[in-house]
Structure 1
C-alpha cells in the first residue's frame, strides 16, 4: 500500500462517460462517478464509486490521507465530516470561478487531463474502466518523467507470480 497523503489535499468528484440523451449531470444514465484525491503540487489517486455515497467517500479519504491534513473541497455535503480529520476549506464558486483565494485547480486539472486522455477511445467498457483510470493516474503522476525506464524496471523486477491474473471487475 502506498503511503497516505498529508499536508494540503484536494478532493473532488467527477463523472466519466459519453454524451447521453436525456438527463444530464449526476442523474445521467451510464456515467461512472469517480472520486479524486490530489496532494497539492504532487500525486493523484482516483477511485470509481459504486454510488454517490457519503460513507464510501469518507472511507476512501480516511484510507488515503493522514489526520491533520488541510482539505480543500467543493460544497458537496459529503465532505462536511472532514473537519473531524483536520482543517477543511470549502471552495465556493461563482459562475464557475473560485470566490476568494482558495481553489481546487489541482484536481480539476487532473479531470481535464484524464478526460482528454480517454477521449480518443470513444468509450471504455465499464468492466475495464478502473484499468484505464489507473493508467491515467500513473501517467499524470509521472508526467515529467520518461516512462520507458520506469515500465522496463517494473517488468524486470516483478515476478509473474505476483501479478494478479484477475484484472476485470465484476459489478
Structure 2
C-alpha cells in the first residue's frame, strides 16, 4: 500500500470504523484492509504486553465475551472466551484470556501482573480467598447486583462495559484473533486521553514486524 492509503486506514482504525463499513469509500481491497487492521491491533497488543505490573489499589474480576448461543449458559457456555481483568484504581487496565474459570488460572495472572503488598478489591468468589497472603484484600458484598457500602469494583466492571460496547459494531470477532481485539481495546482504554492516530503512526515506525509476528499467528 501507498503511504497515503496507510494514513487513511490508520485514521479510520483510530476512529473505530470497521472494514465492512468502508465498502462505499474503500481505500484498498477489504482483505488488504483487514490485514492492515490486524497489524495495527498486533502493535496495540505488543505494547500492552510491556506494561509493568500494577501496585497500589487494584480491582480484579472475570467475564466472558461472545454472542448469545443456544445450550449451556454461564462459564462453560460454548463459544465463549473467559477473560480476566485488572484495573489500577483510577488508572490503567490489563485484560487477558484465561483457559478456565478456576483459581489457578486467575492467580497465575494476578502473580504476573500485580505486585505483592497491593490492596485488592474483588467479588466474593472463593478463588480470591488466598489474596490475603499476597496483600490486603477487600471482598465486595452485593445485593441485587449492587455493592453494599462504599467498597466497589466499578472500575473493572466499567471496563467490561467499555470493551463489549466497543467490540459490538464488529458483529462478531474471529476467535483466533480475539487476543488482538482485546489488546486493541486495552490500548484504547489506556490511551483514552491521547491522540490514537499519532500513537499508532509512531508504533508502526518503531515496532519491527518480527516483534509482532508471534501475535499474528492464529491461536486456536
TMscore range, shorter length? over 0.9
Question: Which one is further off, 14-23 or 93-102?
Answer: 14-23
* TM-score (norm: length of structure 1): 0.94
Cα offset, 1:152, TM superposition = 1.3
Structure 2 residue aligned with 1:90: 139
Q: Provide, for residues 15-40 of structure 1, a one-character-per-residue CA deviation record: whole Å limited to 9, x for no partner.
A: 10001123322232211110000100
- 2:153 and 2:100 mapped to 1: Cα distance? 23
**Counterpart in the other structure of 1:65:** 114
Q: Assess, with a 3 A threshold, how the Cα gap between structure 1 residues 112 and 61 changes in structure 2: closer, same or farther.
A: same
Larger mean Cα displacement after TM superposition, 116-125 or 86-95:
116-125
RMSD: 1.3
Bigger helix fraction = 2
For 1:3 and 1:57, the matched residues in 2 are separated by 18
In structure 1, the gaps of 5 or more residues are: none
Alignment partners' CA distance in 2, 1:98 and 1:13 = 16
Matches within 5 A, 1:46-57: 46-57=95-106
Q: What is the 5 A alignment of 1:1-171?
A: 1-171=50-220
For the pair shown, which has the larger CA radius of gyration, 1 or 2? 2
- Distance in 1 (alpha carbons) for counterparts of 2:144 and 2:170: 31
CA distance in structure 1 between the aligned counterparts of 2:102 and 2:91, rounded to whole angstroms: 26
Aligned residues: 171
2-structure distance, mates of 1:152, 1:166:
19
Distance 1:147 1:109 in 2: 21
Q: Could you give the per-residue CA deviations for residues 95-117 of structure 1, whole angstroms, max 9, x where no partner exists? A: 01001110000000000000001
Listed as ranges, the gaps of 5+ residues in structure 2 are: 1-49
CA–CA distance in structure 1, aligned partners of residues 171 and 213 of structure 2: 27
Q: Distance in 2 between matches of 1:96 and 1:111?
A: 15
Which digits, 9 at most, give the CA deviation of each residue in 1:63-118, with x for residues without a partner?
Answer: 10000000000011111111111000000110010011100000000000000011
SS at match of 2:199: helix
Higher-strand-fraction structure? 1
